[in-house]
Amino acid sequence: MVKLYEHPLSPYAQKVKLSLYEKGIAFEAITPNIFQPTGEDEFLRSSPRLEVPSLVDGDVTVFDSTIILEYLEDKWPAKPMLPAAPAERARVRMLEEICDTYVEAISWAIAEIRVFGRARDAFADDLLARAAGQIEGVYAWLERQLGGRAFFNGAAYGWGDLSVWPYVAGYSGMGFPAPEGSRVAAWFAQASQREGARKCLEATMQAMSGFQDLGGIVESGLFKREYRDHRLEWMMRSGGARIVLDGLAKGNIRFAVELK
């Protein structure tokens, strides 16, 4: 059986799980120990960046959510997630790229502030207000991308939808739902009824129930949050530079793993 190393709160992992569910591929979901990954030998072999998701299929290991989706398409083509036309395939891949970088960075930053306590009082208020304004722009952009289509993928649910759904779900859970009456809001309500989406939401709620004193864990340096390129960009452009400098001084943030 395929193994998927993941975390229920990771939108990148959710994207992969949605594809697995849609294709009917049996898999075992495994959450590695993020506090002591040195003991996770198979996970370490499968993900040189120490990031979820990574996939193990027998002797094959694949990391990066987009590459995993491509692997699933190549090995299990019976229920394709990509549209048939080349132009449409490119369109949904570009949609995924924007969601995985610009859109993800905003929800990640909100978690840095609200969950991990990296900003407080007026400083936190200013950053959250900046994020709220950016989310309005994201929803306006998504509305245009959806247009008159039934799904982001086109006539049927697919790659475009599983690329967008985790981020709209994340924004909604943080108190920033799609505007009432919008096409995106109607699409999200419909997409959330699919079996894979329901399972992802259930796993998210279970994971959230175990979140306690994460600010203290981060402050201690036991858990280092990764500031990959688009996340670092968000902090620098949105007024959070001192969060980055403070995290570097305390040793509780990290960048990409250096290969050895």
Whether residue 38 is predicted with pLDDT greater than 90 in this model: the reply is no
The residues, ordered by sequence, that sit 6+ positions from 86 with a Cβ below 8 Å of its Cβ are none
| pLDDT mean over 91-98 | 98
In angstroms, what CA-CA distances link 94 with 18, 158, 218, 238?
A: 18, 14, 34, 24
| pLDDT mean over 147-175 | 98
Could you read off the pLDDT of 174-196 as tens digits, one per residue? 999 999 999 999 999 999 999 99
Summary mean pLDDT of the chain = 94
- How many CA atoms does the CB half-sphere of 55 hold within 13 Å? 25
pLDDT band at 214 (very low <50, low <70, confident <90, very high): low
Q: Which domains does the chain have, with CATH numbers?
A: 2-75 (3.40.30.10), 84-260 (1.20.1050.10)
CA atoms 232, 51, 7, 1: torsion sign: positive
* Position with higher pLDDT, 37 vs 231: 231
| pLDDT mean over 28-33 | 94
Euclidean distance between CA atoms 130 and 149, whole angstroms = 30
Length of the chain: 260
* pLDDT given at position 215: 67
Backbone φ and ψ for 61, nearest 5 degrees, come out as -125, 140
* pLDDT given at position 209: 78
Whether the pTM exceeds 0.85: the reply is yes
Place of tokens 């207000």: 129
Whether residue 212 is predicted with pLDDT greater than 80 in this model: the reply is no
Tokens standing for 187? Answer: 């699409």
Tokens standing for 92? Answer: 């949904």
Return the exposure string of 168-205: e unless at least 16 CB atoms fall within 10 Å of the residue's CB, then b: bbbbeebebbbeeebbbbebbeebeebebbebbeebbe
